[in-house]
Amino acid sequence: MNITEVIKNRHSVRSFLDKNVAINDIKKILDCVKHSPSGTNIQPWQIASVTGNSKKNLTDKMQQEFLNGVQPKMDYDYYPSKWVDPFASRRKECGLAMYKTLNIKREDKQKQKDQWAANYRGFDAPVLLFFFLDKSMQTGAFIDIGIIMQSIMLSATEMGLATCPQASLAMYPDVVKRELNFDRKSILVAGIALGYENKKNIINSYRTDREDLKKSTKYFS
């Protein structure tokens, strides 16, 4: 695939095969994406690759926090405190489309809760990648994290692997930092689930629409 095909073929996967990803493939991806740009080449990212028992122990604890009703508390505000359109409508449409694909009714709160809990298991992907920043970093470094996350997802797609970027993996930062022995004052930005797509699961047929950039782009000459 050329880069255009990779970008268009990448999609968020929410069901993975029970198939391990070779450590050499993970290293190959990370060795490639080290060439991602960052402001003044500060390369602020700190990445944790979590697999096997470490992943299970961590995801069990995150999911239990959710099931126990512990309110998530991220290290930063990912979403606005008050939603306005068109963003509120897009967010609502995204959720409704997924539940429609899964045939989960609006009144079936238990099924909705069960589906949301899968976020904290990384949708059972064999690999979870967590992205941290040093506590000294400021807002600009979040851009750098976004760039390297996109590089990872595109590199994985080229290799026949599937991904799902997840803010939800950063919703219980204290649990993650404790289990992975990261500095409690570091900033946990987000995570990526990585593995092989389970193409037989209907959830992976779910797609979100994209707005025509004509609506949000101005040309000056």
Which CATH number characterizes residue 166's domain?
3.40.109.10
Token pair 């750098």 is found at 144
Q: Is 212 contained in some domain?
A: no
Domain range for 62: 8-207
- Position 56 scores a pLDDT of 97
Report pLDDT digits (tens) over 174-192.
999 999 999 999 999 999 9
Domain count, the chain: 1
The structure's pTM equals: 0.95
Contact 132, 186 (CB under 8 A): yes
Q: Is 113 contained in some domain?
A: yes
Report pLDDT digits (tens) over 72-118.
999 999 999 999 999 999 999 998 898 889 999 888 889 999 999 99
Angle at 121 between CA 120 and CA 123, to 5 degrees: 110
- Position 214 scores a pLDDT of 87
- Position 20 scores a pLDDT of 97
Q: Which residues pair with 195 in a beta bridge?
A: 162
Segments of the chain scoring below 70 in pLDDT: none
Q: Is 117 contained in some domain?
A: yes
- Position 220 scores a pLDDT of 95
Q: Is 24 contained in some domain?
A: yes
If phi over 0 gives left and psi between -120 and 50 gives alpha, with beta otherwise, what is residue 139? alpha
Q: Is 83 contained in some domain?
A: yes
Q: Is 174 contained in some domain?
A: yes
- Position 146 scores a pLDDT of 98
Interatomic CA distance for residues 99 and 102, integer angstroms: 5
| Cα→Cα distances 186→43, 76, 77, 134, 216, Å | 15, 11, 15, 5, 34
- Position 5 scores a pLDDT of 94
Q: Is 1 contained in some domain?
A: no
Q: Is 165 contained in some domain?
A: yes
Contact 104, 110 (CB under 8 A): no
Q: Which of 87, 81, 36, 52 is nearest to 216 (CA)?
A: 87
- Position 63 scores a pLDDT of 96
Interatomic CA distance for residues 89 and 109, integer angstroms: 21
